Amino acid sequence: MSMSQATTRDGWIGFLSSYQWDWFTSQTFRNPTHPEAADKTFRMWISQINRTMWGPRWYKKKMSVYWVRALEWQKRDVLHFHALISHPEQDLNTLQSRLLWMDRWNQLAGYARITKPNSTEAVTRYVTKYLIKDGDLEMSPHMPHYKQSLRRVGVMPCSEETLKQGAL
């Protein structure tokens, strides 16, 4: 790992560790799936979680779980995700059944494993390793204070003017 890769990964670890994570997921696809279709499936699954907690108009209420998702290609040339997911105010584990949402993912796409993280640092390190392995890392648009936090840990340098304009 180069020095710049290590610095980038350390910045992401610092940023993601500042959040409380309720679920750590591994989600596979039974069949080869295009990344855009996989993204749509993941977002539909997240939308279903939100709907069970806040009703069909969860988006208009501006209520949502927040998440960070890493994409990785398996040896069998099928992608899978690792995600960190949390409720904005409470422990998601007390509100939703992990088993129910593993079963729901199985109905939609393939195998899923959802656990409660024992260590925030360990799961953030695991998810961020895909940045270095030419993977992809994507964040929920509902993450609280992410713009300021990214800049604070040096992951995404920008000016104060850019932050004020909401360009991130």
DSSP for 64-115 reads: --EEEEEEEE-TTS-EEEEEEEE-SSS-HHHHS-HHHHHHHHHHHTS-EEEE
Would you state the pLDDT for residue 78? Answer: 86
Q: Which amino acid is residue 92, in one-letter code?
A: L
Would you state the pLDDT for residue 99? Answer: 98
**Residue with tokens 């996989």, as numbered in its chain:** 38
Would you state the pLDDT for residue 6? Answer: 77
Strands 23-28 and 112-115, bridge-based pairing: antiparallel
Residue 68, CB-side half-sphere exposure with 13 Å CA sphere: 26
Per-residue model confidence as pLDDT tens digits over 4-20:
777 878 888 888 888 98
Per-residue model confidence as pLDDT tens digits over 71-89:
988 888 888 999 999 999 9
Q: Is the pLDDT of residue 117 over 90?
A: yes
Would you state the pLDDT for residue 147? Answer: 53
Strands 136-139 and 79-86, bridge-based pairing: unpaired
**Closest by CA position to 48, among listed 91, 102, 88:** 102
Token pair, residue 94, equals 């007390």
Per-residue model confidence as pLDDT tens digits over 120-150:
889 998 888 877 766 688 888 888 765 554 5
pTM (two decimals): 0.83
